[in-house]
Structure 1
């Protein structure tokens, strides 16, 4: 009798595990290998999720609910393999071969990386009524208990002796939202004061950045540093402060007059979902994330809902700042990337100290 040797091939996905891969409080990655299930068996569907770090806690509640609903509907179990990273890092990993079936990222530009890698359809924003988005937020300032330094707006972050935190926009989508918020607020302030917008906005950003102690890899890592006692103020997502306040952490949240509406996308990574034969389940998950049940859980985690029904239910919890603006008010993502983040853009000049 001939012996038959069966070799099991294990594919290692960077940043993933059978549960999740994340960062510790210092922003140091935990490299955890995982076994990738490339196709579902008869009774189990395995969905690989690549997400930005800030959404981890909300998904920790939502995914089990989807799994229960999916099993009740189809009779099949759902297993999730999850990776949480800074959004830019996560997008580059997926584009480079980490085979996520569903991607939740911090900003549209990170989804564009997947499009350029030919992993998704170019019309991904036109495939649903939400233009590809799953949650919203706004950029805010978090302070210590009682707001001891009396911070009320972005300009207060420029004062001498105020130590500020925000993450690195090279790796973090959340950081780009933070930088956009400060720069865009500068444009709005300049218009109100009859001043030239771009120079005024650049000076505001430069003066805030002068007070920044460190730029961590992700929004979650930056928040962890703040929790360890680093800094007097942090520029972050509204949901990061709200979720901690609801847990009893004595932070204060400052909602600036002028701040940006943050929109976070979700997408089925078609190439990988089809390869793994989980496209139906992946599409169902994305649809579920926008249904009232999931949107209420997002809202409880501090995110602003995209679902109109839940947005109306939670309107008192999420006031609209007087000077709220949209990325389109800054010319859209293409213009912002060129103006702020190109090799000679405003952000480069801020880092280089070029007036």
Structure 2
């Protein structure tokens, strides 16, 4: 072989050596890159989580302040960043959405009955009430709201039966808040019957019929009814005390009328265990629900017009939340199961009122 051939052969060998060295370097770099990327990817997954919240519409304003505070506390405690996905609907609508496949990790709803729908759908542990205050995170009462100065002189639910009074409240078929409203009116009718000699459901039904005869607007949620009232619909709105307080704090000129006989509202919150376990968010979901009973969170609820369930915070605000003389709770009506069967079933009292039976 001549020198030229040797040079060519040596050139190929050198080229091959260089190529092999380059391939080794590339593989080494890729290997190092994989070693570095994998831990950082797992760190992102570990240090960040998403909590999906399905709540009733009335809780939205309070949660807008509570969520950032919980985020800060959780991050300081665990180093984990939380992203929140939030959905706000009428309580009954929200419960049906969750049963239908909306995978919320936690829920705040207007009433125990809506939580029980989730229990029956095997989405929630039956022990959800084994918490402080039996799982209730806020309280309120049903009141009436009028225009500034209460021009029609509304004092009691009986005033809503007067000719020409235009009444606003939401639809109990879609709104848990509306069921509280209807329960309050129905219960006030029961109290009237007791004054006449005995506790009579027929008298209560007739009283509810008289009030409903004056209905001006029947909306899908408590928040929708409040919006309609703000637009000038109706003379009187039957609603949560906290809804009116929140509007008054924003400068709207309403009067709150507290009937002598009205119902205590209790609003629950719970971890939706099936979805929280599926999303691996059970720990943060449980911590969030526990946080709702903290003094910090309860003060925010109080700020937005809710009656705190925390005794310390309630005592701080007791002058703002006097107890009506004839206040009753759901047990006065027979409990939620009885109420669902007798008032809101397909042939129940509410159906009969709507049908004029």
* TM-score for both structures, normalised by structure 1: 0.87
Distance in 2 separating the partners of 1:138 and 1:173 = 14
Residues 300-344 of structure 1 show CA distances to partners (whole Å, capped at 9, x for unaligned) of 000001111111111111000000001011110011111111122
TM-aligned CA deviation for residue 129 of structure 1 = 2.4
1:113 equivalent to 2:113? Answer no
Contact 2:165 2:214 in 1 (8 A): yes
Find the partner of 2:89 among 78, 85, 89. 85
Query: Which deviates the most, 298-307 or 190-199?
Result: 190-199
Larger Rg over CA atoms: 2
Q: Name the residue aligned to 1:342.
A: 345
Superposed, 1:10-89 pairs within 5 Å as 41-89=45-93
For 1:296, what is the secondary structure of its paired residue? helix
TM-aligned CA deviation for residue 75 of structure 1 = 1.1
1:283 equivalent to 2:286? Answer yes
Q: Name the residue aligned to 1:36.
A: none
Distance in 2 separating the partners of 1:115 and 1:198 = 29
1:249 equivalent to 2:252? Answer yes
Distance in 2 separating the partners of 1:115 and 1:271 = 10
TM-aligned CA deviation for residue 62 of structure 1 = 0.6
Residues 25-58 of structure 1 show CA distances to partners (whole Å, capped at 9, x for unaligned) of xxxxxxxxxxxxxxx8222121000000011000
Contact 2:187 2:262 in 1 (8 A): yes
TM-aligned CA deviation for residue 255 of structure 1 = 0.3
TM-aligned CA deviation for residue 77 of structure 1 = 1.1
- Segments of 5+ residues of structure 1 without an aligned counterpart are 1-39
Matched residue count: 314
1:305 equivalent to 2:308? Answer yes
Q: Which ranges of 4 or more aligned residues in structure 1 deviate by more than 3 Å?
A: none
Q: Name the residue aligned to 1:274.
A: 277
Distance in 2 separating the partners of 1:233 and 1:138 = 16
- Segments of 5+ residues of structure 2 without an aligned counterpart are 1-43
* TM-score for both structures, normalised by structure 2: 0.86
Distance in 1 separating the partners of 2:116 and 2:100 = 13
1:99 equivalent to 2:106? Answer no
